[in-house]
Structure formats: C-alpha cells, structure tokens
Structure 1
Amino acid sequence: MIEVFLPPPFVVEVFNLNEAVRISLAIFTSVVLVFVDTFLRVLVEARNFNLATNREITIKNTILAIIWRGWAPVEINGKIHRFLVSGKLRADMTKKLVKSYPWLFLLSFILLTLPDVDIPMLGRIDVFLSTLLYLVPIMVELASIVENMIELEFVESIWFKRAMNLVKELIALVKSIKDAIK
C-alpha cells in the first residue's frame, strides 16, 4: 500500500503552489536555453576556428571543426589559441550552472516566504520580487543567444527577419486587444 503524506501546514501556508510551479518552469526553461546557448556558442567557436585556419565556412568544415579539428590549438600571430576547449567557454558554463542561476532560483523560493504585502501597482511584493529573480536567468540566456546569433550572422537571414516581423505583429495585436479592453 502506498501512503501519501501531506506536507506540514506551515509549508502549505508559506509557499504558494502556483508560484512554485512557475519557478520550476523557469528552471526548466533556463536549462533548455543554456543548452541552446551552448550549442550556438560551439557553432561560433567552430566558425572562428575555420576563419583562423583559412577554411571555408561550410557545413562540412563546421561539422569537422566541432568533431575533430576545432579541439586542437592554433597558432595565430605567434600566440596559441584554443577554440572549443577555451577556458572562457568552460568558465562561463560553470558560472551559469553552478554559481549564478541556482542561487537566483533559491532566493526566488525564499522570497516567497516574505509576508504578503500588497503594493497598488505591483501586487504582492513577495511574488513580484520572486518573479523578478527567476526571470533574470531567462533574460540573460535570451540575450546571450541573440549575441551568438548576431556573431553567426543569423540575424541577416530571411527566416530571422520573418520571425522578428511576426513578433512585432504579435506585440501590435496584444496592444490593440489591450486598448480595446480599456
């Protein structure tokens, strides 16, 4: 027989289940965005390796750089450079996944324990601050993804321009609905 134990009453009173679910979704979203950002960063480093070694930037050379060539040190202007094994790439990943993001999510959970104080324009201050903290990693990752896309020159492609026009139209639609409601 399986017994289900309810959490202690103070846990139920302190943590709002909806906010805990939102924080969990933010954690999941951040992890997915970190993987996308890392994949794009690897593509950037493969591209930089191909440029440094005077190879064409083709799909074949990019795949070969990711699998084999890009891991070797390359001498550029008398200095040794490493691309896919760069210390900066490893340090950024460690900083994100071990140091920064877990603390932001933990603080976001802790902020939910603050007293429920309503502020007229913001709502409950504990929920507002918690939301602010758990959205920081998502915004940072989105900015990093856009940076990598700019470096890969994806922003000049036709599909990216179409996607941006779609986002602009969606924002205009939401604004028009909001104005119609007022």
Structure 2
Amino acid sequence: MIEVFLPPPFVVEVFNANEAVRISLAIFTSVVLVFIDTMLRVLVEARNFNLATNREVTIKNTFLAIVWRGWSKVDVNGKQRRFLVSGKLREDMTKKLVKSYPWLFLLSFILLTLPDVEVPMLGRVDIFLCTLMYLIPIFIEIASCVENMIELEFVETRWFKRAIKLVKQTIDFIKSVKDAIK
C-alpha cells in the first residue's frame, strides 16, 4: 500500500502549485534553449575557424572543424586565437548556467511567497513578478539563438523565410478567427 503524505498546511497556503509547475517548465525550456544556443554557437565558431584558415565553409569542413581542426590555435593577424575552446564561449556558459539563470528561478519561487495583492491591470502582483522573472532567461536564450542564426546567415535561407511566412499566416488566421467571433 502506498501512503501519500500531504505537505504541512502553511506550505499549501503560501505556495501556488500551478506557478511551481510553470517555473519547472520554464527551467526545462531554458535548458533546452541553452543546448540549442550552444550548438548554434559551436557552428558559428566552426564557421569562423574555417574563414580564419581560408577554408571553404562546407558541411565537410564544418564537421572537421567541430571534430578535429577547430580545437587548435590559429594565427589570425599575427595573434594566436582559439575558436572552439575560446574563453568567451566558456564564460558565457558558466554565467548562464551557474550565475544568472538559477538565481532568477530561485527568485521566482521566492516571489510566490509574497502576499496576494490584486492590481487592476496586472492581476496578482506575486504571480506577475514571478512570471516576469522566469520568462527572462527564455527571452534571453531566444534572442541569443536568433543572434547566432543571423551570424550563421540562416536568416537569408529559403526555409527560414518560409518559417517566418508561416508564423505571419498563423497570426493573421488567429486574428481573423478572433474578429469572426466578435
């Protein structure tokens, strides 16, 4: 037989379970976006390595740069430079995963304990501030992914333009349904 123990009453009164689930989903989403951003950043560094060593940017050269070539030091304008092992890449990852994001998520959980104060335009202040805190890392990662895609010149590709067109069509469809309901 499985026994289920309920948390103490003061925890149930102070803590909003729905928001805790949303924060957990935001943490998962942020981790996935950090992974995607890291992969895009590695592709950017492999591309930069190929350009610095006067190699053509092809799938083969990019793969070789990621697996083997891109980890070495290269002379760029008389200076030794590393691409895939760059300090900036490591510092950014450490800053995101150790310094910034965990504190924002912890602050989100702490903000849930604020008193329930209703503001006419915002709703409950504690939930509004909590939501704001856990959405910050997601927006930062999306912006970083877009920045890496621009650097990789994915924005000019045919599939990216089709994806943007599809998003615009979806928004127009939602607006038309909304107007039809009115």
- Structure 2 unaligned regions, length at least 5: none
Q: Which amino acid aligns with 1:140?
A: I
Structure 1 residues 174 and 121 mapped into 2: Cα distance closer, same or farther (>3 Å)? farther
Q: TM-score scaled by structure 2?
A: 0.96
Q: 1:143 aligned to 2:140?
A: no
Q: TM-score scaled by structure 1?
A: 0.96
Aligned-partner Cα distance in 2 for 1:23–1:129: 12
Partner of 2:131: 131
Q: 1:110 aligned to 2:83?
A: no
Aligned-partner Cα distance in 2 for 1:133–1:166: 30
- Structure 1 unaligned regions, length at least 5: none
Please state whether the residue corresponding to 2:155 is helix, strand or coil.
Answer: helix
Q: 1:62 aligned to 2:62?
A: yes
Partner of 1:7: 7
Q: 1:167 aligned to 2:167?
A: yes
Between 32-41 and 13-22, report the one with greater CA deviation: 13-22
Please state whether the residue corresponding to 1:121 is helix, strand or coil.
Answer: coil
Partner of 1:42: 42
Greater than 6 Å deviation, 4+ residue runs = none
Partner of 1:24: 24
Aligned-partner Cα distance in 2 for 1:181–1:65: 54
How far does residue 180 in structure 1 lie from its aligned partner after superposition? 4.2
Q: Which amino acid aligns with 1:79?
A: K
Aligned length: 182
Q: CA RMSD in A?
A: 1.1
- Percent of aligned pairs with the same amino acid: 81
Please state whether the residue corresponding to 1:154 is helix, strand or coil.
Answer: coil
